[in-house]
Structures are given as structure tokens and as C-alpha cells.
Amino acid sequence: MQKKNISVIGVPMDLGQMRRGVDMGPSAIRYAGLLERLENIGHTVTDLGDIRIDQAERVHTAETNLRNLEAVVKGNTELADQVKAVKDAGDFPLILGGDHSIAIGSLAGISSKHENLGVIWYDAHGDLNTGETSPSGNIHGMPLAVSLGLGHEDLVNIHGYTPKVKPENIVIIGARSLDEGERELIKEKGIRVYTMHEVDRMGMTRVMEESIEYLKGRTDGVHLSLDLDGLDPSDAPGVGTPVLGGISYRESHLAMEMLAEADILTSAEFVEVNPILDEKNKTATVAVALIGSLFGEKLL
């Protein structure tokens, strides 16, 4: 893998959902040795610190069915600005969450630099809800829908344009918990999804080969959005919405190694590490190990 200039951005956001602690995710990932790991591989790493997230009183607005809308929009707007600045400098943005609502800002800042951005959504969930379809009103279940231009106008119009990504440029890997509205949207938009059925039946090698080939021919850059709950809870227990029967630790390493070999990624984020729910920082340590593989770390 070609050596990169990597800019690390932490986003201590916990307002996109209801469980406290995920705001400590960026610190936990750094504590698990992220910066040293990347530098040992040979990359140049700049830690830009954390985006400031206002810890406002938690608000559920009945009119929108969206929790903490104003604070989530503000944090994601600041993230989008910083990500765009990193892309303007020609560097690789590596974003640490925080809950998955931060992908709204990540994609707003990244997509502005691409004509045809591809997205790999590595997650147990589709995150394709809107205020109308969400059972909870939690915005961390909506970022992919928002990036498609679906949802509240304050969210979809961050950075003044929408959509950020086209449905045919998305690949979801590891899905095993989808709400009814999400299933309908996937069928309507023709979004490519590899559920755990496909991962089990085809094997991770073929899933990744097909995903890489699919995106390689139609995009001018690919963003990886990896939610640690995409992994099985036995490997990544420190997440807010664990779902049994997930991708294994070794399968995930293989997926990251194949992405490193393909060298198609232009940005990445790792989200939903919650140290309060974790076991001795195990999930953050897993995240760092996967990031190592993603950036070309090899045993021999």
C-alpha cells in the first residue's frame, strides 16, 4: 500500500442515540494505540483532536420525531468543514466516533470533493430510517438515508447540497437488523446489500471481491463507514446496539486486508465504540487492529 498522510479527527458525539458513553469512543481508540500503529506501518499521521460537541439537554421533538436535531446538525456541520479541509490538503481523513450519526458530516465533507463517491457501509444495521420510519427517533439510525437526500432538511442540506451519495454507489455489508421502512427503501433504490446470509453462504472473500469490483468501475473514490456492531458481540462487546450472529474478527481482518490490497479507499470512519459497555477496552483494541489491516499492516 502506498504510504499516506492520514489526518485523524475524533467526534465525541453521543446525541444520535440514547445510551451514554459512546462520546468516549475516540479517546478509547487512541488509548488502544491507534497513532503508534499507523506510524509503525510507515504512514504520516496528524491527530487533529476532537470536534467540539455541545452536550445540550437531550431533546425529543414530537413534530420531527428526531432526538437532539439541532445539536446533531451543528456537530456534523463542524465535522464536514474539517473533513473538507483535510481533503483540500490532499490528505486521508480517518474519523473516529462517536455514534454513527457522525457519518452525516463525514459524507458531507468528503462527497464535496468527489463526482461519484462510493460507500461501503459495514454494519449490522442499514441506517436508512427517516423521521417517518424510525421507531426510536435516534439519528444514528438515519445517516445513510440522510446522505441519499432523505430526511429532515437541516440534515440533508449540510454543506448546502444534496444528495451526497447515489444509491447505486452504496454497498452494505453485514446487515442483520433492518426495519420495515429500510427494507422497502433498499428494494426501491436497488441498494446492494450483503446480509449475514450472503456472508455465510458466499464467504467474506467473495463478498469483498464483488464489492470492490462493483465500486471500482463506477466511483472516483470510496468511503468506508465501519460500525463496530457489524462484528459479532463476542468480538466487539462495547457497542450500543449489539446484534447476535455478526461478522467475525478474522473475517473483518480479511475484509480490511482486501481493501488495503485494492487501495480504493479515500476516507474511512470507525464508529460506535462505547467504553462503558466494553470489556477492558476490547472493542477499541479490535478497532485499532482492523485499522492496522486497512492501512496495510502485514504479519510477514
The string of pLDDT tens digits covering residues 162-176 is 999 999 999 999 999
Q: Residue 132 has what pLDDT?
A: 87
CA 236 to chain centroid: 15
Residue 264: burial class (beta carbons within 10 Å; 0-12, 13-18, 19+): middle
Contact 272, 229 (CB under 8 A): yes
pLDDT tens-place string over residues 224-269:
999 999 999 999 999 999 999 999 999 999 999 999 999 999 999 9
Task: List, by residue number, the catalytic residues.
Answer: 100, 123, 125, 127, 140, 227, 229, 272
Q: What DSSP designation does 24 have?
A: G
User: For the whole model, what pTM was predicted?
Assistant: 0.96
Rg (CA), the chain: 17
pLDDT tens-place string over residues 55-72:
655 666 666 778 889 899
Among 66-80, 83-97, 155-169, 195-209, whose mean pLDDT is lowest? Answer: 66-80
pLDDT tens-place string over residues 6-49:
999 999 999 888 788 999 999 999 999 999 999 999 999 999 99
The domain segmentation of the chain, as residue ranges, is 5-294
The rounded distance, in Å, linking the Cα atoms of 39 and 42 is 5
Architecture of domain 5-294: 3-Layer(aba) Sandwich (3.40)
